[in-house]
Structure 1
């Protein structure tokens, strides 16, 4: 099992919890009802509703197990509470510029909430590793699939505050 902490923002933890609640509280019970109805229709070997329902139920149960493990291992870190806002740490939104002065803004988030297309990169991604601890003006070199690149840190920002409803510790 992975020994690295599973850092996650309060919003990321809330998204995992919402998906878990949706699957466990709504989708799974409805599917169990459909499977029961289909089983009552007789021959199960050619019953599409029954076969598909059982397959989908296994998928949901696997996903619920994965979500449960990830939430138990989660260490919720609120980026708004970062004491050192001069350096790029978890939750920082960092603007970087490459050798061609092409700028890109990324936010360092938990691996479970990463979405590169939206500018959210996982804490353990190569670019995030290179940016960790950097300050404005620093140059960082990173090995990417397209080759090695050098980036200058142009700006670092953190959220001012988070919503009080999202302040929740993992496992509580």
Structure 2
């Protein structure tokens, strides 16, 4: 059985996260601990009471699911200890900082809007990209009107930053 990860385990490495991202991690840990884990522990107990555990698929599944919940709880616990919440207002509202929304017009005329976040928050569907990604690195500290070039496997892409929106923070 392959145990390939979709993302590297960064649980012990420090990193940056938005206040919303940190809150989502806390809420997930709370839900896993107070709702999902007790429900699965009860399912293990019920399945174990049915007799022979070696051929009891429900018992085996419940044990595996409980172990997965425990792994996720350990991961979240380690991450929450080392993450730095970035909630300061950027010094220059026109520059791209961590948490900024950036709109780029590429050389082919298409526009893309991205949010710069930490590796723990990336979400392709929402267009949230890591500050460590090639696009994220090329955007940080830039401002409206700046040209950017990103090297991708399919070749270079050039574009211009046409809008920067920084979220109001404390």
Q: Confirm or deny a common fold (TM above 0.5).
A: yes
2:63 counterpart of 1:54: yes
- Distance, in Å, in 1 between the alignment partners of 2:130 and 2:79 is 15
CA drift at 1:67: 1.2
- Distance, in Å, in 1 between the alignment partners of 2:158 and 2:14 is 28
2:82 counterpart of 1:66: no
1:12–1:110 contact (8 Å) kept in structure 2 = no
CA drift at 1:145: 2.9
2:120 counterpart of 1:99: no
C-alpha root-mean-square deviation of aligned residues, in Å?
1.8
- Distance, in Å, in 2 between the alignment partners of 1:145 and 1:29 is 46
Q: Which residue of 1 aligns with 2:23?
A: 14
Q: Deviations over 1:101-156 (max 9, x none)?
A: 21111110121111122121112111000101111111111112332111211111
2:97–2:166 contact (8 Å) kept in structure 1 = no
Unaligned runs of 5+ in 2: 1-8
Unaligned runs of 5+ in 1: 163-172
Classify 1:83/1:4 alpha carbon distance in 2 versus 1 (closer, same or farther; 3 Å): farther
SS for the counterpart of 1:59 is helix
The structure that is helix-richer by fraction is 1
Show structure 1 runs of 4+ deviating over 6 A. Answer: none
SS for the counterpart of 2:125 is helix
- Distance, in Å, in 2 between the alignment partners of 1:116 and 1:34 is 34
The number of residues matched between the two structures is 161
1:93–1:157 contact (8 Å) kept in structure 2 = yes
- Distance, in Å, in 2 between the alignment partners of 1:146 and 1:17 is 38
- Distance, in Å, in 2 between the alignment partners of 1:64 and 1:57 is 11
1:140–1:152 contact (8 Å) kept in structure 2 = yes
Alignment of 1:76-87 (within 5 A): 76-78=85-87, 81-87=89-95
Alignment of 1:86-125 (within 5 A): 86-125=94-133
Q: Which residue of 1 aligns with 2:5?
A: none
Q: Which residue of 1 aligns with 2:6?
A: none
